[in-house]
Amino acid sequence: MKKYIVALAFMVSAMSQAQQTKFSFRFDNNKKTEGAIGITPQSVFTEAVGYGYDLLPSPDGKSNRPFYFSVTVPDGNYRVTVTLGAKKKAGETTVRGESRRLFIENLPTKKGEFVKRSFVINKRNPMIAEGEYVKIKPREKNKLNWDGKLTFEFNGSAPCLAALSIEKVDAIPTIFLCGNSTVVDQDNEPWASWGQMIPRFFNDQVCFANYAESGEAANTFLAAGRLKKALTQMKPGDYIFMEFGHNDQKQKGPGKGAYYSFMTSLKIFIDEARERGAQPVLVTPTQRRSFNDEGKIVDTHGEYPDAMRWLAHKENVPLIDLNAMTRILYEAMGVEGTKKAFVHYPANTYPGQTKALEDNTHFNPYGAYQIAKCVIEGMKANKLGFVKYLSDDYQTFNPAHPDNLATFKWCPSPFTEIEKPDGN
């Protein structure tokens, strides 16, 4: 009977925790901070408690290794405010959320200096309605994007976290990202996509909700219930971006094709968004790394980019021509230079990697970062309302002049994977 009462108490605690939408934590001198939960190295995440250090050992205050912190919350958008810095040492901190979404990049703090920054992050789980769930793939089951908690990664050459607060926000525009492996939040190094880089360039007045998944075509995205789940959170004033084509073009048979099933699926996205007062935006697919002998990009998407351009004109929908911009970007980088933007690494670069990685579709963090800037320039060209929330340090980007790789500093996440994402 006693065991039953204890178990019931844990269940009630977890249920209560799951409904809480506002938290405040202190990681230094926590006993002196009124109203905040003091966090110590012993504060390890459990379902019963609902918050704590997660995935890796707690920070010891001496080493500069990365660490994770998780909080159980319901679905929705959350404004996160972090105070970065430490009394006894200088720091440089990068903050990522959920499946490696980038929010704060290499922020320096002097010894004794504390800097406060805010951003908004989207949280979701697979439940669409009672008894109905998104058909996530087996390899998605351990993705941080789909569990019941918000998880934050604190990385950098010397990560320093002093305080963290979380509060649910409902009245800001959400940009829903729908697409495939070129858009998805890639969980592990060295893979990356533009959808997980783009939050870094915006302030805390807008939220990106990345629903993309590797291997998806427009019709399989719909069949898995991914759009249906997004619609449960969508509201007037939101946006929905659609970048498909890589996997759609492989579908053969009656009714398939760029101007047939593909158009039908995209029209469903457009109609469903408009019905909820949201703005649909079409994004043509990124080019593959495919060069001819003259160093020019060879089109590999057939009619699909033109079909999206046609539909955008017909439906009066904003179009971001990422297909055209990535052609310029890759040709500017050159045949060899583009290898530094894609997953091209010699054998033994990563644990268990016995063969060279030579992927001409999927990006590494540097490549994803460049393409995110291309997307932002497309947002600006279309005068989308939320571009007023670009971060103060964003500078105009020209795909013909990519950032110097030598100036790009990426502190890798501790988890790696040598299996390529679904799709090509």
**pLDDT digit string, tens, across residues 5-23:** 333 333 333 444 458 999 9
- Specify the pLDDT at position 39: 95
- Compute the average pLDDT of residues 302-329: 98
Cβ–Cβ < 8 Å for 276, 231? yes
CATH 2.60.120.280 for domain 171-410: no
- Specify the pLDDT at position 211: 98
- Compute the average pLDDT of residues 191-209: 98
- pLDDT tens sequence across 353-409: 999 999 999 999 999 999 999 999 999 999 999 999 999 999 999 999 999 999 999
Provide CATH 3.40.50.1110 ranges for the chain.
Answer: 171-410
Q: Is there a catalytic annotation at residue 181?
A: yes
* Percent of the chain topping pLDDT 90: 90
Residues 6+ apart with CB under 8 A from 186: 99, 100, 192, 193, 196, 214, 362, 421
pLDDT at 280 over 60: yes
Mean of the per-residue pLDDT values of the chain:
93
What span, in angstroms and rounded, lies between the C-alpha atoms of 38 and 162? 11
- pLDDT tens sequence across 53-97: 999 999 987 889 999 999 999 999 999 999 999 999 999 999 999
Q: Which of 43, 58, 70, 181 is catalytic?
A: 181
Cβ–Cβ < 8 Å for 225, 132? yes
- Specify the pLDDT at position 29: 62
Q: Which of 246, 301, 344, 362 is catalytic?
A: 362
- Compute the average pLDDT of residues 208-212: 98
- pLDDT tens sequence across 179-194: 999 999 999 999 999 9
- Compute the average pLDDT of residues 22-41: 83
- Specify the pLDDT at position 33: 64
Using alpha carbons, select from 214, 210, 193, 185 the residue that is nearest to residue 99.
Answer: 185
Q: Is there a catalytic annotation at residue 358?
A: yes
* pTM exceeds 0.85, yes or no: yes
Q: Is there a catalytic annotation at residue 165?
A: no
Binning pLDDT at 50, 70 and 90, where does residue 28 land?
confident
Q: Which of 16, 358, 391, 401 is catalytic?
A: 358
What span, in angstroms and rounded, lies between the C-alpha atoms of 242 and 247? 13
| CATH class held by domain 14-169 | mainly beta
pLDDT at 232 over 90: yes
What span, in angstroms and rounded, lies between the C-alpha atoms of 186 and 51? 24
Concatenated DSSP letters of 137-194: -GGGTT-GGGSSEEEEEEEEEE--EEEEEEEEE-SS-EEEEEESTTTS---SBT-B-H
- Specify the pLDDT at position 423: 83
Provide CATH 2.60.120.430 ranges for the chain.
Answer: 14-169
